[in-house]
Amino acid sequence: MEEALARLVPAFQTLGSVLDRLAPLLVWLAEHLQSALAKLGQWHADVLFKCILGACMLFFGGYFPTLISAVEAYRICGWKTTKQCLLDLYESYRVAKAASEKDDKLDEDKDGQPDVLSLSAKELAARKLKVAMKATDPDKVMYATIGLWAGFSAVAATLRMKFARFITLGGAIGDTVTSFLIPTVGPPAKKIVPMEFHKWVDPGLSVLGHGLAILVSYLVQRIIGTIHSAIRGAEMLCGALLMAAHYRNMHIPEEFKVLVVTASTVGLALLGLWMQISSGFSLSFPWNLMLMPLRFLDWLLYVFVSTGV
């Protein structure tokens, strides 16, 4: 047992080093975000956030189909639980950090300097691990970690199901296209192709048919995702603008509210859909640079879903 733990020490040291560098950055971001939201209180940060998110989904949602699907899946599968898990882990980190800072000042051997300065890297890692384990609530950490993993697993399952549906649809269409291509295009193709390559005609047409079918299936799924993101973004944007109007004491008569909101939502959704499809799902400058992190994240999610990593 002791040998196994000794072998795990380097891994814990590496993990601790990564967490020591990453955790302060995340805390800094969280604190500055909280401060920014507090300063935006007079502008109603919730309304501003919904406006920005709604506009992004309305005009750019089709460019990031996998990312949008992941966000929607997370929203449906339990974002509230995930949020509470993140808050619990953050609180556990703060408790462990406070205990570690207190431990850094201890001088139990009375030599005039903190005990941690006289420890080797291996001993320091073991000591900090003990301090963190004593200070934090194991049940809270365990349930928060399990909750995060459960939410991530639910999102991954949803995305993979959508990917499998798109592949299945492409395969079904491919079978139909291939059954049409082989008897109609095959004989004329064999007249052109040399005799020794005739055996490759039917498999080649099958690959061509299935490739075209999967491409069509992908485009159909892409357009469906774009329609969904445009409608969802328009709903969020109109709802946020309606809330902003209410905060500014600008009220729409009840007999016209449904008509105005519906017409605005449909109009904005059609505008966003047209802008994305007409651009061929390609971002122009400067949006392609500004949204590059989202493109990279969407690509990572796509690779994760398609490869089953």
Q: Give pLDDT tens digits for 242-298.
A: 877 777 777 767 666 778 778 888 888 899 888 888 887 777 777 778 888 888 888
Is there a domain that residue 17 lies in? no
Decide if 10 is inside a domain. Answer: no
What is the number of residues in the chain? Answer: 309
Q: Which of 89-98, 175-184, 269-278 has the lowest mean pLDDT?
A: 89-98
Query: pTM to 2 decimals?
Result: 0.61
Does the pLDDT of residue 36 top 70, yes or no? no
Query: Is 9 within a domain?
Result: no
- Indicate whether 171 pLDDT > 70: yes
**Separation CA 165–CA 161 (nearest Å):** 6
Range of the domain at 74: 44-307
Residue 44: is its pLDDT beyond 70? no
Task: Determine, yes or no, domain membership for 203.
Answer: yes
- Range of 23-32, 117-126, 249-258 with top mean pLDDT: 249-258
Instruction: With beta carbons less than 8 A apart as the criterion, state whether 59 and 272 touch.
Output: yes
Residue 4 has pLDDT above 60, yes or no: no
The segment with the largest mean pLDDT, out of 108-117, 210-219, 248-257, is: 210-219
Tell how far CA 60 is from the center of its chain.
15
- Asked if pLDDT for residue 40 goes beyond 60, the answer is no
- Range of 62-71, 82-91, 196-205, 266-275 with top mean pLDDT: 266-275
pLDDT of residue 141: 72
Least confident of 42-56, 59-73, 273-287: 42-56
Q: Is the pLDDT of residue 148 over 60?
A: yes
What's the whole-number average pLDDT of the chain? 75
Asked if residue 303 belongs to a domain, the reply is: yes
User: Is the torsion defined by CA of 64, 67, 72, 75 positive or negative?
Assistant: negative
Residue 231 lies in a domain: yes
Domain assignment present for residue 49? The answer is yes
Q: Which residues neighbour 152 within 8 Å (Cβ) at sequence distance 6 or greater?
A: none
Structure tokens at 8: 């795990």
pLDDT at position 19 is 59
On whether residue 39 sits in a domain, the answer given is no
Question: How many domains does the structure of the chain reveal?
Answer: 1
> For position 1, what pLDDT does the model report?
47
